[in-house]
Amino acid sequence: MAIQTHKITETPDAFIVNGVRVPKMKKGQSNVYDPAIIKAVGSELFFDLVASKQPLPMPDLGFSEAEWKDMEKMLDNDQ
């Protein structure tokens, strides 16, 4: 099996992999990628480049403790 090497350069808003521009993910925006880009660089390398390296924190949704408990009860009743 041949080992494929990639020439990767980084700009402020993208990675360039063997001449293919892979835009960086932007926080707070919908990030949609052309399947041809993913196929061109390979899915494993694509996700290594653009995926978050750390788990994303759960945002504070503004619910009180009582509201969370009510929602949990509703979910339990649905099962």
> Does the predicted TM-score (pTM) go above 0.85?
no
- The residue among 7, 35, 11, 40 whose CA lies nearest residue 23 is 11
Position 1 pLDDT exceeds 70: no
pLDDT single digits (tens) 18-69? 999 999 988 888 889 999 999 999 999 999 999 888 887 888 889 999 999 9
Given its phi and psi angles, is residue 53 left (phi above 0), alpha (psi -120 to 50 degrees) or beta?
Answer: alpha
Contact 37, 22 (CB under 8 A): yes
Residue 6 in this model has a pLDDT that exceeds 90: no
Task: Supply the pLDDT for residue 52.
Answer: 83
Taking the domains of the chain in order of start, what are their residue ranges?
1-54
Q: Give which of 21, 18, 20, 24 is closest to 47, Cα–Cα.
A: 24
